[in-house]
């Protein structure tokens, strides 16, 4: 499967010994995979997916990338950047009204100059429907749209995380270790599915539901099997592992456990997490270590998927000050 180079790879794999000790891990067991350092207008997990998605778009002769997400979507911002790198257009659906005062990712969306389509508040599949309508409109205008689902979560996009699973396994092998568990935030579930396809067993990936997609329990295993086939790997073993207890009142809603996770990462490691995805994923890791679903001697990789711009969304300013 072709990829178009867009990301800075391999990303660093760093020890997190001080945070690990604070959480009761045995020495040297907690690691952070820095996929916030992929580059592409601020970095994040969507860069690896976009490498495969854009290669597919170019192979099909498409001239406009089309996708969508919530107002503070990182995928939308990074798709706009990828389009600019490759000389393609981008038309991006945001399931929100246009804010009177742009903050966070929206500032970057304007700067990158993509064509933004504000469709008002939609649920997950309502936003997918708006992406379909936008593709139909563009095709009727004689354009050649390349449709990406929310989060770039097609099997082609998830191929980026099959490769990432291999990358992290090789990095740990160089230290004489193997990956017992990767902890990741689940939005669309595409990253989780790709990791499972790459690592070969559902029990090696803990996905922390951030409250955006209603059907992760069905979608992640179905996608993982599909991606494994596409990648020429064996179908994954085990049962999907999801934590649905960390998103609080919903997508982007602040929670005390997320705040604690942000503080722990910042104060023990100088590592900045975001309030929508990685803070909740770290809260899931903390909870799993405390109740021993992740053992003290398990080699654990926290996948830092990026998301920093959302920390600067106006909604979080007072919450961060505390
Ligand atoms: C999109 C995103 C995720 C979730 O990835 P999915 O593949 O959609 O599940 C996690 N963290 C950040 C920062 C993201 O932007």
In sequence order, what DSSP letters do the residues of 89-100 get, joined into one string? Answer: EEEEEESSPPPS
Other CB atoms within 10 Å distance of the CB of residue 113: 12
Q: Look at residue 69 and tell me if it is in a domain.
A: yes
Q: Is the domain of 21 the same as that of 163?
A: yes
DSSP helix/strand/coil, 296: coil
Ligand 1 pocket check for 306: Cβ under 6 Å: yes
DSSP letters spanning 204-240: GEEEEE-SS-TTHHHHHHHHHHHHHHHTT-PPPBS--
**Closest CA to ligand 1's atom 2:** 187
pLDDT in tens, the chain (322 residues): 899 999 999 999 999 999 999 999 999 999 999 999 999 999 999 999 999 999 999 999 999 999 999 999 999 999 999 999 999 999 999 999 999 999 999 999 999 999 999 999 999 999 999 999 999 999 999 999 999 999 999 999 999 999 999 999 999 999 999 999 999 999 999 999 999 999 999 999 999 999 999 999 999 999 999 999 999 999 999 999 999 999 999 999 999 999 999 999 999 999 999 999 999 999 999 999 999 999 999 999 999 999 999 999 988 989 999 8
Rounded to the nearest angstrom, the distance between the alpha carbon of 141 and the centre of ligand 1 is: 32
Q: Is the CB of 67 inside a 6 Å radius of any atom of ligand 1?
A: no
Q: Domain for residue 256, yes or no?
A: yes
Same-domain pairing of 39 and 55: no
Range of the domain at 80: 46-152
Candidates 45, 297, 299, 304; CA nearest to 169 is: 299
Whether residue 265 is found in the same domain as residue 228: yes
Does some domain include residue 52?
yes
In a domain, 4, yes or no: no
Reported for 13-20, long-range contacts at CB under 8 A and 24+ positions apart, including other chains, are 13/168, 13/171, 13/172, 13/301, 16/268, 16/269, 16/271, 16/302, 18/268, 18/269, 19/264, 19/265, 19/268, 19/269, 19/271
67 domain-assigned: yes
Indicate if 208 and 166 belong to the same structural domain. Answer: yes
21 shares its domain with 61: no
Please state the pTM of the whole predicted model: 0.98
Of 96, 122, 152, the domain-final residue: 152
At 317 the pLDDT is: 87
Each residue of 72-99: pLDDT tens digit? 999 999 999 999 999 999 999 999 999 9
Point out the domain boundary residue: 105, 131, 152: 152
Question: How many A from CA of 222 to the centre of ligand 1?
Answer: 18
Residues 69 and 123 in one domain: yes
Q: Report the alpha-carbon angle 150-287-269, nearest 5.
A: 80
- Provide the CATH number for the domain around residue 67: 3.40.50.1100
Tell me how far apart the terminal alpha carbons of the chain are, to the nearest angstrom.
47
Query: In the 3-class helix/strand/coil scheme, how is 114-160 assigned residue by residue?
Result: CEEEECCCCCHHHHHHHHHHHHHHHHHCCCCEEECCHHHCCHHHHHH
Is 113:80 a contact under the CB 8 Å cutoff?
yes
Judge if 297 and 163 occupy the same domain: yes
Angstrom distance (rounded) from CA 74 to CA 282: 18
Distance from Cα 185 to the centre of ligand 1, integer Å: 6
In a domain, 1, yes or no: no
**Cα of 187 to ligand 1 centre, how many Å?**
5
Q: 266 and 163, same structural domain?
A: yes
Q: Are residues 105 and 178 in the same domain?
A: no
**Number of structural domains in the chain:** 2
Are residues 105 and 80 in contact, defined by beta-carbon separation less than 8 angstroms? no
Q: Which atom of ligand 1 is nearest to the CA of 207?
A: 9
Give the torsion sign (CA, 207, 40, 105, 11).
Answer: positive
Looking at the fold, whether 207 and 230 belong to one and the same domain comes out as yes
Which residue numbers are catalytic? 73
Max Cα distance, the chain (Å): 59
Is the beta carbon of 151 within 6 A of some atom in ligand 1?
yes
Map tokens 């961060």 to a residue: 320
Radius of gyration of the chain (CA): 19
- Helix %, strand %, coil % of the chain (to 5): 45, 15, 40
Q: Quick one: 74 and 184 in the same domain?
A: no
Q: What is d(CA 55, CA 2) in angstroms, rounded to the nearest whole number? A: 6
Q: Are residues 253 and 293 in the same domain?
A: yes
Q: Which of 152, 176, 211 is the last residue of a domain?
A: 152
Looking at ligand 1, which residue's alpha carbon is closest to its atom 13?
A: 307
Scanning 174-307, the segments in alpha helix (DSSP H) are: 190-199, 216-230, 256-269, 278-290
């Amino acid at each position: 499967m072709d990829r178009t180079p867009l990301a800075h790879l391999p990303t660093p794999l760093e020890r997190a010994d001080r945070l690990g000790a604070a959480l009761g891990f045995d020495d040297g067991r907690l690691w952070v995979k820095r996929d916030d350092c992929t580059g592409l207008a601020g970095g994040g997990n969507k860069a690896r997916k976009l490498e495969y998605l854009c290669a597919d778009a170019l192979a099909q002769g498409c001239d406009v990338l089309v996708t969508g997400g919530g107002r503070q979507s990182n995928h939308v911002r990074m798709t706009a950047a990828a389009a600019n790198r490759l000389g393609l257009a981008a038309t991006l659906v945001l399931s929100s009204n246009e804010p009177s005062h742009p903050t966070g990712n929206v500032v970057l969306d304007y700067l990158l100059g993509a064509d933004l389509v504000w469709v008002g508040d939609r649920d997950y599949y309502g936003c997918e429907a708006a992406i379909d309508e936008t593709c139909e409109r563009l095709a009727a205008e004689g354009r050649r749209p390349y449709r990406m689902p929310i989060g770039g979560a097609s099997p082609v996009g998830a191929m980026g995380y099959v490769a990432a699973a291999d990358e992290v396994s090789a990095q740990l092998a160089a230290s004489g270790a193997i990956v017992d568990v990767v902890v990741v935030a689940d939005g669309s579930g595409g990253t989780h599915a790709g990791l499972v396809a790459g690592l070969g067993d559902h029990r090696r990936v803990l996905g922390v539901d951030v409250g955006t997609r209603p059907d992760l329990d069905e979608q992640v295993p179905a996608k993982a099997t599909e991606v494994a086939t596409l990648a020429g790997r064996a179908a994954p073993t085990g049962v999907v592992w999801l934590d649905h207890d960390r998103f609080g009142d919903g997508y982007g809603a602040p929670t005390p456990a997320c705040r604690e996770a942000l503080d722990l990462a910042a104060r023990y490691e100088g590592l900045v997490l975001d309030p929508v995805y990685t803070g909740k994923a770290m809260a899931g890791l903390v909870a799993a270590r405390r109740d021993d679903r992740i053992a003290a001697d398990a080699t654990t990789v926290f996948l830092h998927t990026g998301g920093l711009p959302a920390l600067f969304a106006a909604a979080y300013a007072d919450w961060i000050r505390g």
